[in-house]
């Protein structure tokens, strides 16, 4: 298939947790369990601050919230525990789509646009989600996947999205990022791409190049085109 000649969008780069699939709750559950094992309770504010961040940063936020001091070795062990527990929950409780996400992904693929999954989640856990998505859709929907342990820097650094665009062979001016977190939105905007934001667990303030929606329900190619057109310096397609 080839991309529609009427659209300037050539690639859509999707975040995973909280954007495409409802897996952020598993990360939250795993971190709340870790907090309990450390003798405390993670505050809602701290949990919100961890959304979309690297696991190392999330654990640092949790430790600070609890007021505990952990060695580097203990921090790494805590991070591994959270990852293992989140993966266990993904496998046993299942993977559910975020509202409207499946329909948007299918519309993008049907239009022949290039697709990438760009996630801070490490490959070993992202593989669980990717397998579930592929089984549900009857095939792998992403041309490129970039995971958190495959990049020189994680979101909010722009490099994960730039890496994906390079792998797709698509100019950043023709890419739309779909994200739910402030960290992810920041990464997409820093990469110079248009961003369609669907905040879930944390507020995301308005910014140049960012189009905000409450949900992906009803979002399709026209909404992606509008998001691209809202990018600073974008030119209308005639």
Residues annotated catalytic, as ranges: 15
In the Cβ-directed half-sphere of 85, how many Cα atoms lie within 13 Å?
18
- Give the residue among 5, 44, 47 at the shortest CA–CA distance from 27: 47
SS3 of 195, please? strand
CA dihedral of 158, 121, 15, 62, whole degrees rounded to 10: -80
- Residue whose entry in the numeric block shows the structure tokens 């209308």: 236
Show the CA angle centred on residue 185, arms to residues 78 and 110, nearest 5°. 105
Token pair, residue 2, equals 């080839």
């Amino acid at each position: 298939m080839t991309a529609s000649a009427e659209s300037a969008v050539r690639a859509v780069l999707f975040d995973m947790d909280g954007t495409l699939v409802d897996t952020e709750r598993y990360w939250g559950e795993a971190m709340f369990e870790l907090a309990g094992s450390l003798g405390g309770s993670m505050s809602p504010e701290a949990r919100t601050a961890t959304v979309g961040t690297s696991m190392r940063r999330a654990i640092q936020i949790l430790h600070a919230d609890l007021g505990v001091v952990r060695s580097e070795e203990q921090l790494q062990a805590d991070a591994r525990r959270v990852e293992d527990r989140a993966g266990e929950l993904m496998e046993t409780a299942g993977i559910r789509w975020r509202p409207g996400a499946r329909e948007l992904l299918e519309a993008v693929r049907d239009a022949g646009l290039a697709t990438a999954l760009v996630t801070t989640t490490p490959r070993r856990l992202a593989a669980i989600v990717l397998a579930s998505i592929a089984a549900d859709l009857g095939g792998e929907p992403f041309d490129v996947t970039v995971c958190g342990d495959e990049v020189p820097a994680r979101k909010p650094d722009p490099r994960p999205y730039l890496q994906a665009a390079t792998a797709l062979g698509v100019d950043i001016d023709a890419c739309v990022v779909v994200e739910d977190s402030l960290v992810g939105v920041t990464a997409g905007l820093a990469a110079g791409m248009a961003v369609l934001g669907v905040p879930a667990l944390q507020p995301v303030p308005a910014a140049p190049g960012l189009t905000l929606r409450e949900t992906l329900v009803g979002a399709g190619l026209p909404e992606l085109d509008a998001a691209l057109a809202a990018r600073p310096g974008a030119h209308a397609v005639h």
